[in-house]
Structure 1
Amino acid sequence: MAVLTEEQNMLRDAAKSWVQDKSPVTAFRKMRDSGAELGYDTAAWNEMAEMGWAGVIIPEEYGGSAFGYLAMGLILEETGRTLTASPLLASALGAASALVLGGSEEQKQAWLPKIAEGAIVATLAIDEGPHHNPEKVETSFSGGKITGKKTFVLEGMAADLLVVSAKGPDGVGLYLVKADDAGVKRTRLQLADSRGAANVEFDGAAAEPLSGGASTLEKVLDRARAGLAAEMLGAATQAFETTLDYLKTRVQFGQVIGSFQALQHRAARMFTELELARSTVEAALTAIDNDSPDVPELVSLAKAKMGDTFHLVSNEMVQMHGGIGMTDAHDSGFYLKRARAAEAAFGNQAYHRDRYARINGY
């Protein structure tokens, strides 16, 4: 466990208390059953913004608290535990990072205070195919306009501002596009994990460039990947703890099933993998806060390790709960579906193993 400051401890404790009281898994089930078009409860998101969570990585001069990425990771870990759906990752981390790293002073003044107070939702629009591949960009920018398409844009239907990757005069870079522009068309997607997402088409939409080109794009993606890994850590940890409680209470053949050595071994493996995964996630977030040169490899290590671990734990949660674990009436299916969607977002295990190898010269 990382050594936390007083502010970080307070943020974590506040997040833990809020998600348990206001956003348990039953709240996610209610949102899913309601067919909410945006894929999250807007009232809950407003409460999160009021608590300052949308401004955690945003500098104070733009309405944020500048607590850093480890602090944001602690919040995301707690929301991950109860599968809380919100624009926190897409808007307050991903898009906000793009503006902090590549925005002009005018762009920062125009958008960051609104993101920090939750007045708008912003998101990244990066991928153009079924898999994460930010290097493959066909969307183009010319004459102040963007043309192309993006797939699986997180919170794509809720977004007021899109941070879009496109090929410009100087290569691939990031651009700001208002979602209500006449040249933007959005199509809602229904994902397995019931979160909000959309495919987005751009037909001559007005756009403003951010600075830094491909370098800024990669830095922004690494921050989003680390934040998602933190959320996955929280969900996997809760899935394990729920399963462990079941092993201690479920009786079969006259014995508590947790007394069976085969299940003990499987539980021990999950615990060990979770501890290892926690170390990689916290190392990645801390490296971002410290602006370390090894951020890319640490982020890819964390995302790949967390993907494997969440995959394992979500599978075991279903299997160890037996028949009830296979039904929609039990929460285990929610964790399994979230695991699969989170694995694919911002690069799956194969993508990040390959990237880690390339960074290290293999």
Structure 2
Amino acid sequence: MDFALSEFQQLLKEQAERFIARDYGFEQRRSLITVTPGYSEAHWQTFAELGWLGLPFSEEIGGFGGTAPDMALLFEAFGHGLVVEPYLATVLGGLAVQHAGTAAQQQAILPKVIAGDHKLALASLEVGGRQAAPHVATIAKRVGGGWQLTGHKTVVLHGASADTLVVSARSHGAVDATGGIGLFLVPAGAPGVSRRGYATVDGLRAAEVTLEQVELPDEALLGDPVGGYGLLDSLLDLAGIAGCAEALGCMQALIDRTAEYLRTREQFGRKLGEFQVLQHALVDMYMAAEQARSLTLAAALNAEAAVPERQRLVAAARQFCADAGRLAGQTAVQLHGGIGVTDELDVAHYFKRLTMLPQWFADHGQPLERFMAAGG
């Protein structure tokens, strides 16, 4: 199989890397994450101008029709720069609209998303549940010509800054049943919606979202009111691919910084890089990252495959990237010594991001469970 980048992918990769190197400095990021909303609106508009906000959406709606491998290239650059803008949250919500929404819903939301004028967030996780699992206790009740939603969503990525929430809610069935789940467009300012935003340990933002008898018109429903789980599951698998690609960017940055540190730091009258045991540690980081890269590529290339194959490969990539990221992060901190855990050094921030990435869309053990289940 030819793994060479297409001309479009090469241009996208170079464009993203150039932006990170030129306009996304570490000190600027440190300042951004300390104040609300936790990211730069100027950078967000740049994302729109560069076409990144339209990358995954169809050409008919004004996007570029990008694929999962295209997205992976962009997220790897985001990982290298520790980008904090709400790109993934908005893209996941937008893809829900593209795949399940009517033409009217798509025209009302997606052009504004692509232009950088509208942000979305996917609100699917609940207390007692796990991502990519059908645990939905939020109730969607038919009321007149519309719907009434009541429930609580937890750890909604960039939920406090979203203009519209894409909420999973159950119209019937048991709490953990795959059937009976619908996806709804909920305006963030709708009566009955309350949000509590907070910063996460890796510098991003999340929110707790409470829905108290939120009245919605029938047009708020995305597609089938009982068949939304399949789409939700595919969106979370795409998020898993994006998270793996971002982890690759973080790992490569740590490898580069650690190699440079070993080349320049002296101990006992010798460069640290001259000690063979430290060379071996750096090689272990590199090998783990390259193996993780291979699995991430396999998952991205099969993002549109049959459901069991997609789930199996994404689960394998998630688990391996989590393990490789842990090794790279811990080794980088160890080789830098005490300075490796200080807020002033970017190594600590990469370490925190690699620690959090596996938690966003898959908790401990879940990728292995999905891998075994998908394998039959």
TM-score range relative to shorter protein = over 0.9
Separation in 1 of the partners of 2:241 and 2:95? 12
Matched, 1:182 2:191: yes
How far did residue 131 of structure 1 move?
Answer: 6.5
4+ residue segments displaced more than 6 Å: none
Partner of 1:124: 122
1:29-178 equivalence runs, <5 A: 29-32=30-33, 35-92=34-91, 94-129=92-127, 132-133=130-131, 134-143=133-142, 144-169=147-172, 171-178=180-187
Partner of 1:20: 21
Separation in 1 of the partners of 2:257 and 2:100? 42
AA partner of residue 24 (structure 1): G
Q: Report if aligned partners of 1:183, 1:204 keep a CA contact under 8 Å in 2.
A: yes
Q: Where do 5+ consecutive residues of structure 2 fail to align?
A: 173-178
- Number of residue-to-residue matches in the alignment: 358
Q: Secondary structure of 2:302's partner?
A: helix
AA partner of residue 76 (structure 1): F
AA partner of residue 166 (structure 2): V
The farther-off stretch of 94-103 and 119-128 is 94-103
How far did residue 290 of structure 1 move?
Answer: 6.0
How far did residue 130 of structure 1 move?
Answer: 7.0
Q: Report if aligned partners of 1:49, 1:117 keep a CA contact under 8 Å in 2.
A: yes
Matched, 1:266 2:264: no
How far did residue 292 of structure 1 move?
Answer: 7.3
Q: Report if aligned partners of 2:322, 2:354 keep a CA contact under 8 Å in 1.
A: yes
> So what's the TM-score if we normalise by structure 1?
0.94
Separation in 1 of the partners of 2:280 and 2:200? 34
AA partner of residue 21 (structure 1): R
How far did residue 222 of structure 1 move?
Answer: 0.9
Q: Secondary structure of 1:205's partner?
A: strand
Partner of 1:316: 331
How far did residue 190 of structure 1 move?
Answer: 2.4
Q: What is the CA RMSD across the aligned residues, in angstroms?
A: 1.7
Partner of 2:4: 3
AA partner of residue 86 (structure 1): E
AA partner of residue 105 (structure 2): Q
Q: Report if aligned partners of 1:68, 1:289 keep a CA contact under 8 Å in 2.
A: no
AA partner of residue 274 (structure 1): A
Partner of 1:307: 322
Q: Report if aligned partners of 2:129, 2:136 keep a CA contact under 8 Å in 1.
A: no
Q: Where do 5+ consecutive residues of structure 1 fail to align?
A: none
Separation in 1 of the partners of 2:25 and 2:75? 14
Matched, 1:210 2:216: no
Q: Report if aligned partners of 1:131, 1:347 keep a CA contact under 8 Å in 2.
A: no
AA partner of residue 46 (structure 2): E
CA deviations on 1:88-132 (whole Å, 9 max, x unpaired) are 11112x112212222222211111111111111101111112763
- CA 1:360 to 1:152, structure 2 compared with 1: closer, same or farther past 3 Å? same
